[in-house]
A and B are shown apart, each in its own frame.
Chain A
Amino acid sequence: MRLVVDPIKCDGRGLCAGLLPELIRLDDWGYPIVNPEPLPAHLLPHARRAVEDCPVLAIALRRSQVKK
Chain B
Amino acid sequence: MPQLGVDFIGAIERSGLVGRGGAGFPVGTKWRAVAQRSGGRAVIVVNGAEGEPRSQKDRLLMTTRPHLVLDGAFIAARVLRARRVILYIGERHEKARHAMLRALHERTEPERGLVTLAAAPGRYVAGAETAAIHFLNEGIATPTTAPPLPFEQGVDRAPTLVQNVETLAHIALIARGGRPTSTLITLAGGVARPGVLEVELGTSIGDAVRQGGGVTEQPKAVLVGGYFGSWMEPAEAWKLPLDHRARLGCGVIGLLPASACPVCETAGIMRYLAAESSAQCGPCFFGLRALADACTRIADNRSDGRDLSRLNRWVDEVPGRGACRHPDGAVMFLSSALRVFASDFANHGSHDLRRAA
Contacts and interface: CB of A to CB of B under 8 A. Distances in A.
B321 A7 contact: yes
B322 A7 contact: yes
Given A6-B145, A27-B287, A29-B290, A12 B321 contact: no
A7 B317 contact: no
A57 interface: no
Given A7-B322, A7-B323, A8-B323, A31 B145 contact: no
Nearest to B151: A68
B280 A31 contact: no
A31 B320 CA distance: 13
A29 B317 CA distance: 11
Nearest to A11: B282
B145 A29 contact: no
A29 B282 contact: yes
B256 to A, nearest CB: 30
B25 interface: no
Contacts of B286: 29, 31
A33 B323 CA distance: 14
Interface of B: 33, 144-145, 280-284, 286-287, 290, 314, 317-318, 321-323
Interface of A: 5-12, 27-31, 33, 68
29 contacts: A5-B321, A6-B145, A6-B323, A7-B145, A7-B282, A7-B283, A7-B284, A7-B321, A7-B323, A8-B144, A8-B145, A8-B280, A8-B323, A9-B145, A10-B281, A11-B282, A27-B287, A27-B317, A27-B318, A28-B314, A29-B283, A29-B286, A29-B287, A29-B290, A30-B282, A31-B282, A31-B286, A31-B321, A33-B321
